[in-house]
Amino acid sequence: LGLAAAADSAMDCRQFRLARDGPTFGWRVEKMLGVDAADDAKDGGEVMDTKAQVPAAPAAPELCSLDLRVLAGHRLMNRDSGFFGDVSDPYAIARLGSTEHRTHVVNNDLNPCWSEDNEFNFTTGVDSGTKLRLEVFNSNTYRRDQSLGFVEVDVSIILVDGIWRRLKRPLEGGGGGELEFEIRGQAAPAPPTAAAQPRVPFVEVAAISDSASASAATSVS
C-alpha cells in the first residue's frame, strides 16, 4: 500500500524510505516528510533512491590533425627492364582509414625525391588504433602498377605537439629500400558552430493595415 502511494505521489521518490516493520522484520515504505538520513537511521530505516546509476558513455577519442610530407625513396627495387636506364617509376600513396593521397610519379629513378605536391593532411582520433600506411609503387603504362614496399605508422605513438619529425623507415617487402618522410601531429580545430540567426521582429498585420487606413483617411481629409 505504501509503495502504491509512493508511485501515485508527484514528489521525488527519494522522499520515501524503506523501514523495518515490527519484530518480524518485514519491510514497509514510509514517506520521509523531511526526515534526513541521520534521523532515519534511528529506527533502522534506509533511504530509498530508485534512480538508476547510468554509467557515463565513453568519451570520444580526441581528434588529431595529422600532417605528412613524403620526401624521398632510397635504394628502391627495380621492377622495369633495366635496359638503357629503364628502371622503376616510383610514386607513393598515403592512406589513413578511407582517406588517400598520392604523390606524382618520378620516372626512371630508384632514389626519387618529392618536393612538390607532397604534403598531405588527415584527421583522426588520437586513440583510434588506426595506422597510417605509406606504400611506394612502380608506375606502368600497359600493366598493373607494382608495389615496391610499404611502411605503417601507428597513429597512437605520434606526439600531438605541432612539431615536425623526420623519419626514415625500411619498406616491408621492398628488398632493402627505404622511405623518408616527415610527420606532425596537432590538435584538430573544433568544428564550426552554426551562427545564430537574427530574430525578426514580429509586427501584427492588422496593426499595419489600421495604421495605413488611418494615414489614408488623414490624407483625404
- One-letter amino acid at 182 equals E
Position 189 confidence tier, pLDDT thresholds 50, 70, 90: confident
**pLDDT at position 36:** 52
Mean pLDDT, to the nearest integer, of 181-201? 76
What the block records as the C-alpha cell of 25 is 522484520
Torsion, Cα of 131, 145, 107, 135 (10° steps): 10
What the block records as the C-alpha cell of 173 is 617487402
Mean pLDDT, to the nearest integer, of 174-194? 86
Q: Beta strands of 85-208 (E only): which ranges?
A: 90-96, 99-102, 119-125, 131-138, 146-154, 165-170, 178-187
- Which phi and psi angles does 154 have, rounded to 5°? -70, 120
Predicted confidence (pLDDT) per residue in 151-165, tens digit: 999 988 888 899 999
Residues 6+ apart with CB under 8 A from 136: 73, 76, 90, 91, 92, 147, 148, 149, 150, 171, 174, 177, 179
What the block records as the C-alpha cell of 103 is 604523390
**pLDDT at position 172:** 97
Burial class (CB in 10 A: 0-12, 13-18, 19+), 132: buried
Q: What percent of the chain has pLDDT over 70?
A: 57
Predicted confidence (pLDDT) per residue in 13-58, tens digit: 555 555 555 555 555 555 555 545 455 455 555 554 545 555 665 5
Position 111 confidence tier, pLDDT thresholds 50, 70, 90: very high
**pLDDT at position 64:** 84
**pLDDT at position 100:** 96
d(CA 34, CA 15) in angstroms, rounded, equals 7
Neighbours of 15 (CB within 10 A): 15
Least confident of 43-47, 97-101, 143-147, 176-180: 43-47
With H, G, I as helix, E, B as strand and everything else as coil, classify residue 174. coil
Q: What percent of the chain has pLDDT over 90?
A: 44
